[in-house]
A and B are shown apart, each in its own frame.
Chain A
Amino acid sequence: MTPWLVIVLLLGNFMLMAFDARQIDSGQRVIRVWGQTVADFVQSPVTTVTSSMSGYFSSISNLRSAQDENTLLKNHVQELEVELKGKEELAAENQRLKSLLDLKGSSKYKVLTARIIGRDPSVWFDSSIIDRGSLDGVKLNMPVVTNGGLVGRVTAVGPLTSQVDMITRDKSGVGGVIGEISASSALGVISGTSKKDIVEMRYVAGSYDVQPGQVVYTTGQDGIYPAGLKIGEIVEVISGSATTPHRIFVRPSAGLTSMQEVAVLLYEPPVKSEFEQKLPNATKSGQK
C-alpha cells in the first residue's frame, strides 16, 4: 500500500508544481493564501515579541560597559540606557514612517503603508510577508516600494496579509530605463542575480554610453509597475559592442536587506486594448 500512497502523493505534488509554475506570474494561488492567513496568527505576535526582546538584549549588552565604568551608578545608567534605547528605536521608527508619509504625500498614486511580518521560510528564495491584505485594498501584482525605491510586487493576497516578491528574483522582469524616460531610450529588463543586493539590467544595446553612477527608473511598459519609480544606481558595466548588449549591474536603492516598513502603491496598470491582447506574447484572454 505504501508505494502506491507515495506515488499518489508524489504525483499530487508534481501536479501542484506544474500548475504553480504555469500560474506563477499571473495567477492567485489559493493554498498560498490559506497558508498565509493561518501563519499570520503566529507571525505577527512572534515579530512583536522578538523585536521587543532584541531591543531589550541590545540594551543589556550596551549596559555592560557602563557597569565596568561605574558600578555605583549601575542602576541609574541601566534605566537611562533602556529609556534612551527605547527612544532611539522610536525615533528611528518615526523617521522611517515619516519618510513613508512623505512618499504618500508626493506619490501620484494612493499609498498603503505596511510592515514586514515574515520572511520566506526556505533559504532558496527571498519573498516577504506584509501585514496588509485584500481587506485593505491590496490586489495581485501591485507594486511595493520604500522611500528609497522599488521593492517588488505582490504575488499572493490573503485577507490580512500579502506575499511580496523582490525585484532581485530571477523572474522579476522589471522594465527599466537609464535616466529619465523622456530623456533616454536606453531601455532594458531588470532581473535578479545570485547576489542578494545586486540586480542585472539586460538587453541595453551596446551602442549606448552607460556609466556607473547613473540612475535606473521603471519604464511603465511592463504592465505591472508605473513609470518613473527609482530602481537603483548602476555599479558596474561590462561594455557590449555594436552587436552585443551591455551587461549592467544595478544596486537597488530600496535597501532590500534591511527594510522593515514598505508601501504598497494602489496602482492598477491600464487595461490592454483588444488588439494588444491578441498579440502572440500577450496574456491569453480568459487567464487572469
Chain B
Amino acid sequence: MDNLKITIALIIAVLLQWTLRNVAEPLGYIDLPLIIVVYAALQRDAVKAVLFGTFSGLAVDALSGGLLGANGFSKTLVAFVVSELARRVYMDNLLLRIPVIAGASLLDDMLYYGLHRLFGQEPNVPVLATISYSLIATTIAGTVIFLLLDFTLSEKVRKPKREMFPSRRQTRRRNPIRLGK
C-alpha cells in the first residue's frame, strides 16, 4: 500500500514540476521528483528507488531543453547512493535527513551539469547561483514534504513520534522524605 502511495506522490511531483515554473519562476528551483526519489531511497528499497529515479528523471527530461537521459542518469545514481547510505547508517530521524536532501540535491545538480558539459551542451545559466538556489529551495521544500509524507503516508513512522529527537531516559525519582524515614 505504501508503494502505491509513494508512486502516486511521485506522479504528482512530476506533474507539478512540469507546471510550477509556468506559475512562478522561483518555484522551478525546487526539484520535487528528487525529493520523492530520496524519500523512497530512505525506505531502504534500492530497486524501487532507482526505478523511481530513472522514470521521474526521464519524465522531466522529456519536457526540458536539456539532454534526454541526463536527469534520469543523475537521479538513478542519487537514489542508489542514498539507499546504500540508508542501509548502513541510521537515518530515520528527520534532522538527519535534512543534510541527506541537501547532499542529494547538490550531487544531482553537479551530475546534471557535468553530463551536459561532457556532451558539449553547456547550459547558459550562472552555474554556482543555480546550484545554490536549487540546493536551498530543494532542502527547504524537501524537509516540509518529508514531514508531510511521514505524517500522511507511512503508518510505521507515525507510531514512534518521539524518534524525531533522541528520547530522554526516564527514571523514577526516589522520594527523599521517604528515604529519611
Contact = CB atoms under 8 A, between A and B. Distances in A.
A118 B19 contact: yes
A10 interface: yes
Interface residues of B, number: 52
Nearest to B64: A122
A155 B65 contact: yes
A132 to B, nearest CB: 16
Interface stretch (B67-75, B95-103, B146-154): B67-75
A14 B71 CA distance: 10
Interface string B50-73: 110110011111111111111111
Contact of B76 (A13, A17, A34, A122): A13
Contact of A121 (B17, B69, B112): B17
A65 interface: no
A36 B46 CA distance: 29
Contacts of A6: 46, 50, 76-77, 80
Which of A14, A121, A171 is the most central at the interface, judged by chain B CB atoms within 10 Å of its CB? A121
Contacts of B61: 31, 35, 122
Contacts of B125: 123-124, 194
B77 to A, nearest CB: 7
Contact of B65 (A12, A34, A35, A163): A163
B contacts with A: majority SS: helix
B130 A124 contact: yes
A84 interface: no
Interface in B66-116: 66-73, 76-77, 80, 83, 112-113, 115-116
Nearest to A168: B124
Contacts of B65: 120, 122, 125-127, 155, 163, 165, 169
A123 B63 contact: no
A201 to B, nearest CB: 15
Contacts of A96: none
Interface stretch (B22-30, B163-171, B173-181): B22-30
A121 B18 contact: yes
Given A17-B115, A21-B119, A121 B63 contact: yes
B72 A42 contact: no
B157 interface: no
B170 to A, nearest CB: 40
A13 B57 CA distance: 10
Nearest to A6: B80
A49 to B, nearest CB: 10
Given A2-B50, A121-B28, A17 B63 contact: no
B46 A123 contact: no
Interface string A10-41: 10111111111100100001011011100100
B45 to A, nearest CB: 10
B76 A39 contact: no
B73 to A, nearest CB: 4
Contacts of A214: none
Interface string A43-64: 1001100100000000000000
B47 interface: yes
A13 B66 contact: no
B12 to A, nearest CB: 11
B126 interface: yes
A126 B130 CA distance: 13
A17 B119 contact: yes
Contact of A35 (B63, B70, B113): B63
Contacts of B17: 121
B139 interface: no
Given A32-B63, A165-B65, 19 more contacts: A6-B80, A9-B76, A13-B54, A13-B73, A16-B67, A16-B69, A17-B67, A31-B68, A39-B18, A39-B63, A43-B22, A121-B20, A123-B29, A123-B130, A124-B116, A129-B63, A168-B124, A170-B122, A194-B126
11 contacts: A9-B72, A10-B73, A13-B58, A17-B119, A32-B62, A36-B62, A119-B21, A121-B21, A124-B130, A125-B66, A169-B65
